[in-house]
Chain A
Amino acid sequence: MAQLEQLQSKRELFFKNELPSAGGVVGATPQSPAVGTTAASTALPASAVGGGVSGATSAPAAPTPSAIKEALAAKRAASERAAAAAAAHAAAAAAAANAAENNAEDNKERYSKVERDKVPERRTKELDGYVGFANLPNQVYRKAVKRGFDFTLMVVGESGLGKSTLINSMFLADIYSNEYPGPSQRIKKTLQVETSKVLLKENGVNLTLTVVDTPGFGYAVDNSNCWQPIIDFVETKYEEFLNAESRVNRKTVLDNRVHCCLYFIGPSGHGLKPLDIEFMQRLHDKVNIIPVIAKSDTLTPDECAHFKKQILNEISQHKIKIYEFPDTEDEEESKVNKVLKDRVPFAVVGSNTVIEVDGKKVRGRKYPWGIAEVENLEHCDFIALRNMLIRTHLQDLKDVTNNVHYENYRCRKLAGLGTDGKPTRISNKNPLAQMEEEKRDHETKMKKMETEMEQVFEMKVREKKQKLKDSETDLQRRHEQMRRALEQQIKDLEDKRNEFEKEKQMWEQSNGVTLEDLRRRSLEANSKETVDGKEKNKKKKGLF
């Protein structure tokens, strides 16, 4: 409990130290009298005496306990002073009034602070007073501590390079011991990938550390594809995470992905081996790789520098992307960081034994000619590696794994099944939305097709109809023609008949005899003639 409170206070001070406040009174966590304030004010170590008013603007790189004490002291002093001043003013010496005056001081400070802070971005709204969301980081802090942290570290390297020793030295715990031997002790016939989980606690922070090691790496005569089981392992973890993330019923997803891979380079002094290059080339886009020069107490400083340069050259030559420690915004911090960053790749020495040097107990390796201290920056880069890896960038390693490597994997995995087997350009929509869009596209396509077909259809129908009509009119015309011709003929005939009739009548009238009579007579005559036809004829002839 007290630890937590201490953490809390450290937390709040961390932010307070960033303020350019005058007199040490700060607006980040102002004292609101009525509400139970956070443990900070109550847990102030009683020993904090009104010492010098320094410390408020101390370098916040890593709030060392001494700085905290000073700042706390300053705050206490300042608040006491404020209270005293208030007491001096106040006519009504009621406690409430005091508290209110205190608030007034605070308010004044805050107002002036806000005045000073009037270089805000144009978009940012200015606050006229205390709101309180500056406490948000504290809330996040509390929740994070409660949740606990986890981290998965992979160590890869040939047997005998001191991997287990280094891990033990880094975490100051017997992760590898006689009961749990290190990878070099466990080499089997084929390359294995094995994990061990340990729970470490420090100052109230719980860290579940998973160490992944690869016994047998580079051990065989033919080491082709010895990286394959490792790649498979990394991708299996990604796949597990992806599946867990994609479930319908999601519980808290356990993060077992590999966050960092320490690759151990043998201290040959000459450069990278082909196996090193192959491995890093294949894994640099799947996991954060931090190359480490192992057993560097066999290299003199010059050889070490030369070796490092060589390695960096080869790395850039082969376009290997090792993990880059990012810069922080804070200037002082980044200065410190830069010094450490320049030591990449870290040349480390590890040790499980503690030796006494100048009365101090240090971890080191005892040689006849001296003692190589592990935690001495002049002897090796162990401190640099530990600080960069654990104290400053552990969270960043996790973030990069989550945001970059995992997303890449996910992209590859999902895009692979989105399109029909062809690795085409990855459309930046989620697959379901894509399906919806495809449906819509298809519908419009179908509509278009439909209208097109309709058009063609109509056109053809019209054509055919037109043709039919034409032939109809044509036939009609011809028929008309023929009809007219016929009618003309009929008319002609009529006329002719009329003429004939007229002629006949005229003749009949003029001769007073009708054709009928003549016909009758001829018939009679014919009948007589049939009796003596010749005579008649002769008779007729005789007359004339």
Chain B
Amino acid sequence: MAAVEVDRARVEASIRNLKLSGHVGFDSLPDQLVNKSVQNGFVFNILCIGETGLGKSTLMDSLFNTSFESTPSPHNLPTVKLKAHTYELQESNVRLKLTICDTVGYGDQINKEDSFKAVVDYIDAQFEAYLQEELKIKRSLSAYHDSRTHVCLYFICPTGHGLKSIDLVCMKKLDTKVNIIPIIAKADTISKTELQKFKSKINSELASNGVHVYQFPTDDESVAEVNTSMNAHVPFAVVGSTDFVRVGNKMMRSRQYPWGTVQVENESHCDFVKLREMLIRTNMEDMREKTHNRHYELYRKKRLEQMGFTDVDSDNKPVSFQQTFEAKRSNHLQELQQKEDEMRQMFVVKVKEKEAELKEAEKDLHNKFDKLKKEHGEEKRRLEDSRKKLEDEIIEFNRRKQQFQQQHMSSSHHTLTLGKSKKK
């Protein structure tokens, strides 16, 4: 590549501020940007953590003014499971792909140590999926359905006495991974004074344990005021309802008790409207941004470091991703090759061993048979000897027999003569 001569002086010169002598028209840029994003549609993912029966699904229905299909979950699940559903909503011309993830069985087990593990794993899995997509060679990030959790609504039991230990532990584990908004659920069981005490107790417990919940941003002038005032109301005490009651001449979401009706959208009854304002109307985009710029970056950094990538090598010289990747790759291939060679080697040794064994066996066999053969040979000789002996004996016997016969005949003559002489 030919060296590019860039006029360094010019580039490094301070950026000039110029005045326009007319209307150019790039003030439509934000509009162009917004048009594009409206065309593409928006994505938002909510994770609801809370014990069974705290009203998570009802609150979701109330917040989004529709009824998501949800079946009430049982209390006897052995582990915490996460169920996510995606819905497409549209309001005026804005399309929103909303994913609501529910924790099923949270806090039901006797031993709750692993309760938040499933949640952490789920959040990490979404980050991982995005990271994988980002690292692909051929990627389509603009068309990718972002499934990372943008906000986590943590439902606190309305005991009135503060947070449970599992709440603290869980939130502490999650505060660097996701934007947490703590919510006091079923707030219609708490009176106003108790609520104040409860909220301050919760806030002090969160602060003393170093849990960082999501702060509504105060750097943008148009929403700074509203956000700061809302920050003081966290955690929001909410009531949700899927029942409508006629109030005046319209239907409002409410819960009807013998002693009165709790109206969900009445600000003096609960903080539902505040939550809806903050969550949806004012800070949705900010939460999405924080998830992408802060939580995801943190996860990505940890993960890449885990995989062995650094920005700076041992000499403190900047190392590019490609370099590290190349090095890793050659290492990796080397490793694989080595494994293969090792295995082959092992086999060669095994074969040699077995061969030696078999040879031994063969030799043994031959030895055995040689011995037998020798024995056999011995026996045969012995047999030969006996046979010879017998034959010799037979021959001798026959000879003697003959001899005897001869003798006998002559001696018998002799005897005859004697006898005869005597008689005379």
Contacts and interface: CB of A to CB of B under 8 A. Distances in A.
Mutual binders A and B: yes
A194 B6 contact: yes
Interface string A475-487: 1000100110010
Bin chain B's interface residue count: 35 or more
A198 B26 contact: no
B138 A34 contact: no
Interface in B257-304: 267, 273-274, 276-277, 280-286, 289, 293, 297, 300-301, 304
B137 A427 contact: yes
A219 interface: no
Given A149-B26, A500-B397, A411 B18 contact: no
Contacts of B410: 540, 543-544
Interface string A389-429: 01111111001001100010011011101100000001111
Among A32, A143, A205, A432, find the residue whose CB has the most chain B CB atoms closer than 10 A: A432
Contacts of A19: 92-93
B74 interface: no
Interface bracket on A: 35 or more
Interface stretch (B117-125, B176-184, B332-340): B332-340
A296 B53 CA distance: 74
B4 A236 contact: yes
B424 interface: no
Contact of A393 (B32, B289, B320): B32
Interface in B1-38: 1-7, 10-11, 13, 15-38
B191 interface: no
A14 B31 contact: yes
B310 interface: yes
A142 B328 contact: no
B277 A407 contact: no
B193 interface: no
A394 B281 CA distance: 28
Contacts of B89: 124-125, 127, 131, 133
A438 B329 CA distance: 11
B343 A515 contact: no
Contacts of B39: 329
A143 B289 contact: yes
A141 to B, nearest CB: 5
Contacts of B21: 172-173
Contact of A428 (B87, B137, B394, B403): B137
A208 B14 CA distance: 12
A465 interface: yes
B27 A433 contact: no
Contacts of A194: 6-7, 10
A329 B225 CA distance: 37
B360 to A, nearest CB: 11
B63 interface: yes
Interface stretch (B75-83, B145-153, B207-215, B378-386): B378-386
B370 to A, nearest CB: 10
B95 interface: yes
Contact of A136 (B42, B297, B326, B414): B42
B4 A229 contact: yes
Nearest to B305: A248
A368 to B, nearest CB: 27
B387 A493 contact: yes
Contact of A197 (B15, B250, B394): B15
B111 interface: no
Interface stretch (A51-59, A259-267, A342-350, A442-450): A442-450
Contacts of B340: 442, 446, 449
Interface string A519-531: 1001000000000
B412 to A, nearest CB: 11
24 contacts: A7-B30, A8-B222, A11-B34, A18-B92, A32-B273, A36-B225, A38-B222, A132-B280, A133-B91, A136-B284, A144-B34, A193-B4, A198-B15, A201-B20, A246-B320, A328-B35, A430-B139, A431-B137, A439-B336, A461-B358, A471-B365, A483-B376, A493-B390, A500-B394
Closest 4 CB pairs of A and B: A430-B135, A246-B321, A132-B281, A139-B285
Given A4-B221, A173-B18, A194-B7, 18 more contacts: A19-B92, A27-B91, A34-B267, A131-B65, A133-B91, A135-B282, A171-B20, A203-B27, A243-B320, A246-B322, A247-B311, A402-B142, A403-B142, A427-B137, A429-B137, A432-B325, A486-B380, A515-B397
Interface of B: 1-7, 10-11, 13, 15-39, 42, 44, 63-66, 68, 87-96, 132-139, 141-142, 220-223, 225-226, 248-250, 267, 273-274, 276-277, 280-286, 289, 293, 297, 300-301, 304-305, 307, 309-311, 320-322, 325-326, 328-329, 332, 336, 339-340, 343, 347, 350-351, 354, 358, 361-362, 365, 369, 372-373, 376, 379-380, 383, 386-387, 390, 393-394, 397, 400-401, 403-404, 408, 410, 413-414
